[in-house]
């Protein structure tokens, strides 16, 4: 059978980096093909070549036996190649439907070749396959990240795609949203569409893909039939070594570092109280929309309290800006890296220093020597790759940008660190490094809050877990009762947790 897609000795170099070297593999019609590799391995670069964003330095892409050389993304779209990018590329003030039609062949020269009504009808039709709660005429900025990711998938479904390349499409989806996506993918595959699927979540890859190509440092290290292979073997292939078994270590003390007393906000949070101790890692679990991010934003001074109080070391705080929270020793690693986190064109070292510029300056001058040596230490600690401190952060892979933001709060010496989905988009090897880092920070006496949708991650890291539901704390689960089913039961059912055989946790 003629492969739907064939990469033949694809190489791509950027100044100072060989992103891809001689990558060759094939994808059959209707196949769901995983593309795996650590951060910076070259996965996104390969997909960008496929979708006409980059041209390869050498090598050829074949679609249904025909060599193709796309000059721009629209060429690829017209040839039936759709791409869902790792970072959302949407225009905030446009509607859902308008965003779906951006760069589409029916919108030429900035004008529309179909009426707005027809555009919205077609957008609704594409979206109905995955989510019928999204209004195509709503501004995209009114949607949550998870919904905006779904719009990107709907956008790919608009075209009669022969190949859909998905670059971490589920990084912000909940398990039930993933189930729905898996169904959609299976249906597309049954109708002959080929899918190239990039994800750092091994369980997902094993569940939906038949085969996977594994990349390391820009080279293909092998292609595996997932049926006959274990997760552990695939991971070893990706990282070139076996990972240590992960165990939880606790450094929690009895000293209360931060106390939240009956916090409420106008947006979502209702009467939230808890204590965070020195050396503690407090996990926050809950469904998307349960108020986890909003709670972190209150603690970080990004939103205002409508009632209640936050104390740090027994002193009542009244933050009116993030700057005040930073000064009080609070660091937030946000959920949406692209929007809130980085200055794309500045070097990775500058981005790292953004929350602590005062400690790198004297008499109004930046002390570049000190900044560089701190950047060298901390970016080494998070294992930034490639290790080039002057490179604009924009040029780093998604996972490596995330590492730089974590280093930012280490530089700021924040005593209270708030992580919102700390390992989203981070590869399994670096993930385990970040877990060790969080543990080291706790050992050093930092107080840490981790919001995560990945249950194994919350359980691995936390000394205690708050489960949020509809803006309130539904339960506090101590370490010795921490199981996935206990968390899920409280996140979804609340008081009826016992219905699922979960250990019964203490309500607050």
Interface segment toward ligand ATP; rule CB under 6 A; list 102-110, 148-156, 246-254, 398-406: 398-406
Q: What residues line the site for Mg ion (CB under 5 A)? A: 44, 86, 397-398
Residues in the chain: 508
Q: Does 418 bind ligand ATP (CB under 6 A)?
A: no
Using DSSP, state whether 265 is helix, strand or coil: coil
Closest distance of CB 200 from ligand ATP, Å: 7
Of the candidates 269, 249, 250, the residue with the CA atom closest to the CA atom of residue 260:
269
β-partners of residue 225 are: 211
Q: Residue 47 in contact with residue 167, Cβ under 8 Å? A: yes
Considering the complex, state which of residue 42 and residue 422 has its C-beta at the smaller distance from ligand ATP.
Answer: 42
**Does residue 40 bind ligand ATP (CB under 6 A)?**
yes
Any contact of residue 393 with ligand ATP (CB under 6 A)?
no
301 counts as binding ligand ATP under rule CB under 6 A:
no
Q: What is the spatial distance between Cα 239 and Cα 214, in angstroms, rounded to a whole number?
A: 10
Q: Site for ligand ATP (CB under 6 A): which residue of 5, 6, 33, 44? A: 44
Q: Are 468 and 420 in contact (CB under 8 A)?
A: no
The residue within the footprint of ligand ATP, chosen from 7, 27, 36, 45 (CB under 6 A), is: 45
Q: Is residue 53 packed enough to be buried (19+ CB in 10 Å), middle (13-18) or exposed (0-12)?
A: middle
* 43 is an interface residue for ligand ATP by CB under 6 A: yes
Q: At what angle do helices 428-443 and 231-239 cross, to 10 degrees?
A: 80
- Contact status: 19 vs ligand ATP (CB under 6 A): yes
Shortest distance in whole angstroms from residue 399 CB to ligand ATP: 3
Binding residues with ligand ATP: total (CB under 6 A): 20
The minimum distance between CB 400 and ligand ATP, in angstroms, equals 6
Name the residue whose CB lies closest to Mg ion.
44
Rounded-to-integer distance, Cα 449 and Cα 438, Å: 10
Edge-to-edge order in the sheet of strand 5-14: 17-27, 5-14, 58-63, 66-68
* Distance of closest approach, residue 419 Cβ to Mg ion, in angstroms: 21
Nearest CB to ligand ATP, comparing residues 127 and 209: 209
Phi first, then psi: what are they for 77, rounded to 5°?
-60, -40
Segment interacting with ligand ATP (CB under 6 A) among 42-50, 176-184, 318-326, 457-465: 42-50
Q: Is 350 helix (H, G, I), strand (E, B) or coil?
A: helix
Note the residues at the interface with ligand ATP (CB under 6 A): 14, 17, 19, 37, 39-45, 86, 386, 395-400, 427
């Amino acid at each position: 059978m003629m492969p739907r897609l064939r990469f033949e000795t694809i190489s791509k170099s950027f100044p100072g980096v060989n992103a891809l070297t001689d990558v060759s593999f094939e994808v059959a019609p209707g196949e769901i093909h995983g593309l795996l590799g650590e951060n910076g391995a070259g996965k996104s670069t390969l997909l960008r070549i496929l979708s006409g964003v980059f041209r390869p330095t050498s090598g050829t892409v074949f679609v249904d036996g025909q060599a193709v050389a796309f000059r721009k993304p629209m060429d690829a779209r017209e040839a039936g190649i759709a791409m869902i990018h790792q970072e959302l590329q949407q225009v905030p003030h446009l509607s859902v439907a308008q965003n779906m039609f951006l760069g589409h062949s029916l919108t030429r020269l900035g004008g529309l070749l179909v009426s707005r009504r027809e555009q919205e009808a077609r957008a609704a039709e594409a979206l109905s396959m995955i989510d019928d709660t999204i209004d195509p005429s709503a501004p995209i900025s009114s949607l949550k990240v998870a919904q905006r990711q779904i719009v990107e998938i709907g956008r790919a479904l608009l075209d009669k795609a022969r190949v859909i390349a998905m670059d971490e499409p589920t990084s912000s989806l909940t398990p039930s949203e993933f189930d729905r996506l898996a169904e959609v993918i299976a249906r597309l595959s049954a109708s002959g569409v080929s899918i190239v699927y990039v994800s750092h979540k091994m369980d997902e890859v094993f569940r939906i893909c038949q085969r996977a190509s594994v990349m390391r440092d820009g080279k293909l290290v092998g292609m595996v039939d997932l049926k006959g292979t274990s997760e552990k073997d695939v991971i070893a292939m990706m990282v070139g070594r076996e990972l240590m078994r992960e165990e939880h270590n606790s450094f929690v003390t009895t000293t209360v570092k931060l106390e939240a007393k009956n916090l409420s906000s106008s947006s979502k949070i209702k009467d939230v109280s808890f204590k965070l101790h020195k050396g503690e890692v407090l996990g926050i679990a809950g469904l998307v929309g349960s108020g986890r991010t909003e709670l972190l934003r209150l603690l970080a001074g990004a939103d205002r309290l409508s009632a209640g109080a936050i104390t740090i070391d027994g002193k009542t705080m009244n933050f009116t800006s993030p700057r005040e929270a930073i000064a009080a020793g609070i660091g937030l690693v946000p959920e949406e890296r692209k929007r809130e986190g980085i200055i794309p064109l500045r070097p990775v070292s500058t981005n790292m220093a953004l929350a602590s510029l005062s400690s790198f300056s004297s008499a109004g001058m930046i002390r570049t020597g000190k900044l560089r040596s701190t950047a060298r230490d901390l970016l080494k600690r998070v294992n930034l790759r490639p290790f080039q401190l002057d490179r604009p952060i924009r040029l780093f892979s998604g996972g490596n940008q995330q590492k730089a933001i974590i280093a930012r709060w280490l530089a700021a010496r924040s005593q209270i660190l708030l992580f919102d989905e700390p390992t989203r988009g981070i590869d399994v090897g670096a993930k385990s490094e970040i877990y060790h880092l969080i543990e080291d920070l706790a050992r050093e006496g930092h107080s840490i809050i981790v919001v995560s949708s990945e249950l194994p991650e919350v359980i691995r890291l936390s000394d205690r877990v708050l489960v949020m539901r509809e803006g309130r704390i539904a339960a506090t689960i101590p370490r010795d009762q921490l199981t996935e089913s206990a968390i899920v039961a409280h996140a979804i059912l609340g008081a009826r947790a016992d219905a699922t055989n979960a250990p019964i946790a203490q309500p607050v």
